[in-house]
Structure 1
Amino acid sequence: MAQAPPQVTGHQFEDAYDKDWHRVDDIHELYYEQYGKKDAKPVIYLHGGPGGHISKPNTQFFNPEHYRVVLLDQRGSGNSRPNAETRQNDTWYLVADIEALRKHLQIPKWHLVFGGSWGSTLALAYAQTHPSSVGSLVLRGIFCVRDFELKWTLVPGGASMLFPDRFDEFVNFLPEEERADHVENYHKRLMSDDTKISHPAAVAWNKWEIGMSTLYPNIQGLKSLEDPAYLLAHARMEAHYFRNKCWMEDGQLLRKENIDKIRHIPCTIVQGRYDVVCPPITAWDLHKAWPETKLHWSDDAGHAATEPRTKRTLIEVCEGYASLEV
């Protein structure tokens, strides 16, 4: 087996100077952390999933001399309360949450909105809804929730052709009578209040995605299956969002009238050439719809932001954007 390239050292921040919850409605409290200098340029990091979560290593793309980094656990995710809660939880609630947090933190405008995978979806949706709140965008592993993108990972004919053994393991976790509509039956299990039903389903669901997230085998990533803040929230939220097509019309984020709302915003796209989770065609389609963007291909990377070439490029792009006047 070929050896993975050497890892890239990211920026190092001191521990968060602020950790807190912000209540946004009668159900949800959003957990957030802040790093860097309080008077530096504000950046918000939008995690993937839906249902992923934040951690201090998310700050490594940003220079602590230039940026005030805000990390946000989205509704139902990570340390936000309650964990794995799907009520009052959809794309447009999350968009409103980002704006509410900006106002709560008294930030006039995000200097940079950074999102990868589902985070890129959310960043685009937020920017198109609140363009005056966004100074620049850095997007990685582009996902626009089109029907064929959802089918790519969830049904035969897409990623299953590259990882047939792992896809069979994913489907065959279910009893034979549930396999004809495996996505719906996963959803039913993931929504169960009985952890003996929901947690094994969450392990199987997450293992399928983790197993195809990097160009080289991702042994470290499998440890997240032991993280209680991640396990059920990630799988349940993905099933909840994907079966509802993330409450968007097909191709909505790529329509000219929506791109026109953000065309003036500096934006860089970083895409792994061998990304199997979010196929590169979507990054290319976004760049064609929005040719003012800069597109960087990571020719020896899959989906993950931590793969060396992708990580190095993201660090360089964020460093460049620190000098922008927005």
Structure 2
Amino acid sequence: MPEHADQPDDFAARRVAQAAEGAALALDHGHVMAWEQSGSLSGLPVVVLHGGPGSGSSPRHREFFDAAKYRIVQFDQRGCGLSTPLGETAHNHTGVLVDDIECLREHLGIERWLVFGGSWGAALALAYAAKYPQRTSGLVLRGIYLTGDADNDWFFHGAAAFAPEAHARLMQLVPRRWQRSLLTWLERTFRDGDEERKAAVAAAWQRYETALADPSRLDAMDSVPLSPAPAATWKKYTVQAHYLARRCFLGESMVMRCASDLRSVPTALVHGTLDFVCRPVNSLRVQHAIVGSRLAWAQGAGHDPLHPESKRLLCAATDRFHADGDFSRWPTEADA
């Protein structure tokens, strides 16, 4: 599901920087992956998987790692961020994303890496690690989205109780006969609708998810009229609707099966106790499925990975992994 740190406002500035670096990797069927790395080239490799689906990498996601100790690799998934073509859903599914991650690892000559993912990125991390466990030195998972009907129903209907006005604005755009088949309608709208319609729906969707991710902004948002979303935003939601309408080509049972297969992969999980986007019970279930994994609760945090408590726990986890190669001494009493 959406990551609050992923904002399309970054795109223009990042596009200039990306072009200067020339960091692009040709994939199949015309897709081109935008990637970048930071930190120390001799540091411990980590790949950061952004959320969404449909969002993009953010420079702020580097803040979870000591740049002197980590080689931080980021990329934008197919159709996302700076990858091209933006908003493309053809030849875009979880199976190819998993292999794209492996393709990038081979391209960079990295033997094994820590896989860090939040929200949808956490589910993608589990799918990658299950297929390529020998290439995964560890997992750091935050605010897990399990990709199933229960999570989708919670986000689009159950969680509406916490953001009723923003939810009502979204549902006003949906014909009554489609309101219980909302994902089908959203996918069709972004696939076949005109740009004006896409812009209006994307603006309402973004307002709703922001209201859930950061309830402190509710009063300010509700007082501002909705403006049509720019193309970069509705293309983001085109990809997201494509994935969510198909349970991200995984589904909850498959994600849990991937988790249960990871008995030998060190795993740390962080989840905000007030996460209204992805239910905290998700991380508890994954922690039970991965033997030896460790879970820490970010007290008072929502879905935003940069909430002080979430960030503190995530930074402590990556520091501990660099020191020990596992999470057996995380979280400490000071972390919890």
Instruction: Map Cα deviations across residues 241-270 of structure 1 (whole Å, 9 max, x no partner).
Output: 111111124421213xx3353211111000
1:320 corresponding residue in structure 2: 320
Aligned residue identity for 2:37 = Q
Number of residue pairs matched? 304
Instruction: Map Cα deviations across residues 279-302 of structure 1 (whole Å, 9 max, x no partner).
Output: 011111111222411101011111
Alignment of 1:266-277 (within 5 A): 266-277=266-277
1:94 corresponding residue in structure 2: 97
Aligned: 1:165 with 2:165: yes
Question: CA 1:319/1:295 → structure 2, altered by over 3 Å: closer, same or farther?
Answer: same
1:311 corresponding residue in structure 2: 311
Secondary structure in 2 matching 1:279: coil
Alignment of 1:218-297 (within 5 A): 230-255=232-257, 258-297=258-297
- Structure 2, unmatched stretches of 5+, are 1-16, 327-336
Question: Which of the numbers 65, 68, 77 marks the counterpart of 1:74?
Answer: 77
Deviation at 1:102, TM superposition (A): 0.3
Alignment of 1:82-161 (within 5 A): 82-110=85-113, 112-154=114-156, 156=157, 158-161=158-161
Deviation at 1:178, TM superposition (A): 4.9
* 8 Å Cα contact 1:91/1:247 also seen in 2: yes
Question: CA 1:61/1:229 → structure 2, altered by over 3 Å: closer, same or farther?
Answer: farther
Distance 1:276 1:129 in 2: 30
- Structure 1, unmatched stretches of 5+, are 1-14
Distance 2:291 2:273 in 1: 19
Aligned residue identity for 2:78 = R
2:334 corresponding residue in structure 1: none
Instruction: Map Cα deviations across residues 85-134 of structure 1 (whole Å, 9 max, x no partner).
Output: 00000111110100000001111111x11100001010000000100110
Deviation at 1:226, TM superposition (A): 8.8
* 8 Å Cα contact 2:163/2:208 also seen in 1: no
Aligned: 1:45 with 2:51: no
Deviation at 1:74, TM superposition (A): 0.3
Secondary structure in 2 matching 1:115: strand
2:203 corresponding residue in structure 1: 203
Distance 2:78 2:230 in 1: 16
Aligned residue identity for 1:304 = D
Distance 2:44 2:52 in 1: 26
* 8 Å Cα contact 1:78/1:233 also seen in 2: no
Distance 1:182 1:215 in 2: 23
Q: TM-score, normalised by structure 1?
A: 0.86
Q: CA RMSD in A?
A: 2.3
Secondary structure in 2 matching 1:53: coil
1:216 corresponding residue in structure 2: 216
Question: CA 1:186/1:199 → structure 2, altered by over 3 Å: closer, same or farther?
Answer: same
Q: Which moved more, 1:115-124 or 1:192-201?
A: 192-201
* 8 Å Cα contact 1:212/1:276 also seen in 2: yes
Secondary structure in 2 matching 1:285: helix
Instruction: Map Cα deviations across residues 51-97 of structure 1 (whole Å, 9 max, x no partner).
Output: 01112211111101100111110000000000000000011111010
1:8 corresponding residue in structure 2: none
1:3 corresponding residue in structure 2: none
Deviation at 1:175, TM superposition (A): 4.6
Secondary structure in 2 matching 1:42: strand
